[in-house]
Amino acid sequence: MRRALLNYANGAGVLGQLMLLVLTLGFSLTLGVMIIASRPSWWFASLFGILALILFMNHNIGVLMLFVSIFLIDWISEFLGLLPRQFTWLPEIILAILFAKIIFLKIVNKNILGSSIDKLMLLLICSAIIGAVVNAMNPIVAILGFRNFFKYIIMFYILLNLNLDEIFFKKMIKLLIIVALLQIPITIAEWQIYGIGDNVVGTLGRNTTGVMAIFLAFIASFLIGFYMHSGKILYLLMIVPLFIPIVL
């Protein structure tokens, strides 16, 4: 019975596909309506339903969209003004859809992968919640504050459990390096043209200077690893300009 459910969950049966898609469609529509409740827009909610359909058919697309939206969506919406403000919730919507898929598949399979930092992550989350309660923070304000940090924890466990192949991982690492290098001209433009000064944030959105520094340090560690593996000096040379956004 469990094997049959697992086959359905993995798309081996029409009934399984329909069940997963209907559940996700309803879930994403609900999230979309909740987010835009102050100014209802059914076409916007329907967009997330279509998104859920795509992500359940191919989670690789979901991971790609997740990375692109995290690093670009706030910048496109807030600084360029090309997208409505509601679209800045796109990373959270994608995370919710992928997380729901993982929970469903792993409950059937009874195999949710953990890591050596599980207890530390649980302690961090509990501390944040307790701090919000003790300080009597508005729940909405607390959620908005948590989203900038906890979404990366959720993303870590999603990537850990999606069984992505090695080729796809290599492509994603290359994409992250490109995004990191993209921060250099954008932060220089923000500093010189827009006069943002110490609040230079690149494409990561408002008040994310610290997050950008961590991201660039993360990419620098990858480049050091590539250099140690291949011996190509180019990887070390790519690290140097990554300090420009941090210094600015």
Total length of the chain: 248
What is the rounded average pLDDT of the residues 41-45? 60
Spatial distance between the Cα atoms of 149 and 97, rounded to a whole number of angstroms: 18
Neighbours of 236 (CB within 10 A): 14
Comparing 115 with 244, the larger pLDDT belongs to: 244
Q: pLDDT category, 38, cuts 50, 70, 90?
A: low
Q: pLDDT category, 31, cuts 50, 70, 90?
A: low
| Alpha-helical segments (H) within 135-196 | 139-161, 166-192
Average pLDDT, the chain: 73
What is the rounded average pLDDT of the residues 160-173? 81
Percent of the chain past pLDDT 70, that is, above it, reads 66
User: CA separation (Å) from 42 to 53, 64, 80, 89, 123?
Assistant: 17, 26, 25, 16, 39
What is the rounded average pLDDT of the residues 122-134? 75
pLDDT of residue 169: 82
Least confident of 30-39, 53-62, 175-184: 30-39
Per-residue pLDDT for 14 more than 50? Answer: no
pLDDT of residue 209: 74
| pLDDT tens digits along 173-192 | 888 889 889 888 888 887 88
What is the rounded average pLDDT of the residues 201-224? 81
Find out whether 215 and 204 touch, Cβ atoms under 8 Å.
yes
pLDDT of residue 155: 78
Q: Which residue has the tokens 């898609």?
A: 21
Highest mean pLDDT among 92-96, 100-104, 111-115, 183-187: 183-187
Residue 44 DSSP SS3: helix
What is the rounded average pLDDT of the residues 129-156? 73
Q: Which two tokens stand for residue 168?
A: 């796809």
Per-residue pLDDT for 118 more than 80? Answer: no
Q: The pTM is what? A: 0.65
Per-residue pLDDT for 12 more than 50? Answer: no
pLDDT of residue 45: 61
pLDDT of residue 173: 85
